[in-house]
Amino acid sequence: MRKYLPVAVAVALLVSFALVAGRVNAGPNSAHPGARVLMDAHNCYPYFEWWSDRIDRALSAGGPLAIEQDLLWVKDVKTGQYRSVLSHGTPATGSEPGMREYFFERIRPVVEKALRDGNHGNWPLITLNLDLKTEEPEHLAAIWQLLSQYRDWLTTAVRSSNIDHSESLDVRPILVLTGESEAQKAVFYDQVPAGEKLLVFGAVRTNMNDPSAPPEVLAPHSQDNYHRWWNNSWHVVEAAGQPNAGEWTTEKEVRLNALVHFAHQHNLWIRFYTLDGATKPQLSANGWFRSYNFGSKDAVMKRWKAAATAGVDYIASDQYEELAELLKLQKPSSTR
Task: Report pLDDT digits (tens) over 101-126.
Answer: 999 999 999 999 999 999 999 999 99
What average pLDDT does this structure show over 116-138? 97
Q: Residue 142 falls within a domain, yes or no?
A: yes
Q: Residue 33 falls within a domain, yes or no?
A: no
172 shares its domain with 230: no
Q: For residue 28, what pLDDT is reported?
A: 57
75 shares its domain with 220: no
Distances (CA, A) of 42 to 39, 52, 67: 9, 14, 7
* Spatial separation of the C-alpha atoms in residues 284 and 278, rounded to whole Å: 10
5 shares its domain with 106: yes
Number of structural domains (the chain) is 2
The mean-pLDDT minimum among 3-12, 288-297, 308-317 falls in 3-12
* Residues 6 or more apart whose Cβ sits within 8 Å of residue 274: 42, 234, 242, 289, 292, 316, 317, 318
247 shares its domain with 139: no
Q: For residue 3, what pLDDT is reported?
A: 40
Q: Residue 325 falls within a domain, yes or no?
A: yes
Q: 315 is in which domain, residue-wise?
A: 209-330
Distances (CA, A) of 296 to 29, 57, 93, 264, 323: 36, 21, 33, 30, 14
Q: Residue 186 falls within a domain, yes or no?
A: no
Q: Residue 189 falls within a domain, yes or no?
A: no
Closest CA to 183 of 229, 130, 219, 127: 130
291 shares its domain with 148: no
Q: Residue 253 falls within a domain, yes or no?
A: yes
Q: Residue 13 pLDDT > 70, yes or no?
A: no
48 shares its domain with 138: yes
10 shares its domain with 135: yes
Cβ–Cβ < 8 Å for 102, 45:
yes
Ranges of H-type helices in the chain: 7-21, 54-60, 99, 108-117, 137-149, 182-185, 215-218, 250-265, 280-286, 297-310, 320-329
Band the pLDDT of 9: cuts 50, 70, 90: very low
143 shares its domain with 283: no
Q: Residue 231 falls within a domain, yes or no?
A: yes
22 shares its domain with 136: yes
**What confidence tens digit (pLDDT) does each residue in 159-195 have?**
999 999 999 999 999 999 999 999 999 999 999 999 9
Q: For residue 2, what pLDDT is reported?
A: 38
Q: For residue 281, what pLDDT is reported?
A: 96
269 shares its domain with 213: yes
pTM, entire model: 0.92
136 shares its domain with 240: no
**What confidence tens digit (pLDDT) does each residue in 240-272 have?**
999 999 999 999 999 999 999 999 999 999 999
In the chain, the amino acid numbered 305 is K
Q: Residue 157 pLDDT > 50, yes or no?
A: yes
Q: Residue 25 pLDDT > 60, yes or no?
A: no
Q: Residue 216 falls within a domain, yes or no?
A: yes
The DSSP line for 160-178 is: -SSTTSPPPPB--SEEEE-
* Spatial separation of the C-alpha atoms in residues 279 and 103, rounded to whole Å: 29
122 shares its domain with 233: no
Helix (H, G, I), strand (E, B) or coil at 96: coil
Q: Residue 311 pLDDT > 70, yes or no?
A: yes
